[in-house]
Structure 1
Amino acid sequence: MTNGNGATPEAAPPPQLNVLAQYTKDLSFENPNAPASLGPQAQQPAINIQINVNANNVGENEYEVSLLVEGKAENAGKVLFSFDLTYAGVFRIVNVPQENLHPMIMIECPRLLFPFAREIIATSVRDGGFPPLMLDPVDFVGLYRQNIARQAAAAEAAQIKPS
């Protein structure tokens, strides 16, 4: 017996991703040259942003995913401001095939955390005396692929290394 779309009633339960908690784990903002850095600047500052994702299993089907965002704005060799944010969440993931679990943790979970981290950074930069820094959306699929390729290259290099 099937239902209207051809699936049997005993079909597997649907995948679930639940956000159990989200929180600022670490936040640092530095404005080392204030008040001089707050004046008009002759040119736009160079802004460098680094984003990484870490994950840990914290219980059965539960994972803590941390989004690490570091940034620095420099102008004429002087640091205008820098920040370091670790924004994390605990996610419950069930009914997901094993081969899809790692991508879900490393792509979908940070994608859910990013808007909140973006707002914290914008507010911190604004409260530091600068216009809010609105981070561009992040391609977490691309970031995931880069990390997998980097890990594969490192593993290959380790195997080729002469003894």
Structure 2
Amino acid sequence: MAEETTGPEAGSDAQPAGGEASVAAQYVKDLSFENPNAPQTLYRQPDDKPNIDVSVNVQAQQRGQDAYEVELKISATSKTKEDTPTVIFAVEVQYAGLFMARNLSDAQLQQFLLIAAPQMLFPFARRIIADAVRDGGFPPLMLDPIDFHALYQQQRQQIQQQQTGDAPTLN
């Protein structure tokens, strides 16, 4: 596997001179595909578009000196658009990577683990989901690219709002 290094030489302003990060390994931690109502759901009309709900979660944990595991969990559930929706399929992958990071500040490390690392993992998780759905008898589910930087910023804003007590209230 090729080593991927980020730093000033890679055009990144987020790391100081001497800071480095690389991919040590990538792997599937868990994969699930459910087709609970087959074969009835396979008889669908081509113009009958289902509702698809997708959720994404990123977690990072230190696994040793300079070693961090980043886990990208993507779940997708397809349901009919009827008054009482029927599950067509459900797929979930936990795809992870072991990353080595040295000489990064805490802020730089957090951004690397929650933005850059999941961006590296996403194309592989996307392909696994597309293949699992296709192998389940449906057209492949091709997820749109995810802006992990925007997700990171949203999470930071939510945390700041909770800390300052400015969290919006639901009526």
TM-score under structure 1 normalisation?
0.85
What do the CA deviations read for 1:87-128 (whole angstroms, capped 9, x no partner)?
001000112233211011100000000000000000000000
CA offset at residue 20 of structure 1? Answer: 0.8
Of 57, 71, 75, the residue aligned with 2:76 is 71
Residue in 1 that maps onto 2:129? 121
SS of residue paired to 2:165: helix
| Rg larger for | 1
CA RMSD of aligned residues (A): 1.6
Amino acid in the other structure paired with 1:156: T
**Which 10-residue stretch deviates more, 141-150 or 130-139?**
141-150
TM-score under structure 2 normalisation?
0.81
User: Superposition pairs for residues 91-130 of structure 1, below 5 Å?
Assistant: 91-130=99-138
Alignment gaps of 5+ in structure 2: 1-15, 167-171
What do the CA deviations read for 1:99-158 (whole angstroms, capped 9, x no partner)?
211011100000000000000000000000000001000000011111112222233339
User: Superposition pairs for residues 1-163 of structure 1, below 5 Å?
Assistant: 13-41=17-45, 43-75=48-80, 76=82, 77-157=85-165
What do the CA deviations read for 1:34-62 (whole angstroms, capped 9, x no partner)?
00001123520011100010000001111
Runs of 4+ in 1 over 4 A off after TM superposition: none
Amino acid in the other structure paired with 1:17: A
What do the CA deviations read for 1:7-66 (whole angstroms, capped 9, x no partner)?
xxxxx7532211111111111110110000011235200111000100000011110000
SS of residue paired to 1:49: strand
The CA distance in 1 between the partners of 2:159 and 2:92, in whole Å, is 25
The CA distance in 1 between the partners of 2:107 and 2:141, in whole Å, is 37
**Which 10-residue stretch deviates more, 147-156 or 135-144?**
147-156
SS of residue paired to 2:124: helix
Number of aligned residue pairs: give it: 147
